[in-house]
Copies of this chain bind each other. A is one copy, B any other.
Amino acid sequence: MGSKVTIEEANAFLSEAFNGAQNRSTVISMEDGHAVVRLKTGEEHLRPGNYISGPTQMSMADSVAYFVIFTKLGIVPMAVTSNLNINFLRPCIGEAVIADGRLMKLGRTLAVIEVDIRAEGSEKTSSHAIVTYSIPAK
């Protein structure tokens, strides 16, 4: 089974919804129950020591979870985050960050997505999030 939304459609949605001008994220994979977002980091994402900031990672976790839902339901802009729980495991340092989201549960009213975040090229997870979205009633 494939994704209900293509990579191109996801990126078109992303630039429209989040003011493409300043956004440096792109969706690089959309499969059934699985999505990947890549962020080319800029100065605004960094802390002293070139660490990629926690809020940058949280924001990516939130976004990629949204796209995971799109792979199953199509574009549902009214899905909203109800809970996000993130553990920061190791420093994240690099020129790009990868957020990899995988569906754990899709219920009638809730979706739960697991997200791994790491610096591009690294094999070690920098942070791990569980993100729950409320799905709007049809």
Contact = CB atoms under 8 A, between A and B. Distances in A.
B83 A83 contact: yes
Interface residues of A, number: 36
A91 to B, nearest CB: 8
A105 B86 contact: no
A137 to B, nearest CB: 8
Contacts of A105: 87, 89-90
Interface in A87-138: 87-90, 104-105, 107, 109-110, 112, 114, 125, 128, 130, 132, 134
B19 A87 contact: no
A111 B90 CA distance: 12
A76 interface: no
24 contacts: A19-B43, A22-B44, A48-B77, A55-B58, A55-B59, A55-B62, A58-B62, A81-B88, A82-B110, A83-B85, A83-B86, A83-B88, A84-B84, A85-B86, A87-B104, A87-B112, A87-B132, A89-B104, A89-B105, A107-B134, A109-B134, A110-B110, A110-B134, A130-B130
Interface of A: 17, 19, 22, 43-44, 47-48, 54-55, 58-59, 62, 77, 80-90, 104-105, 107, 109-110, 112, 114, 125, 128, 130, 132, 134
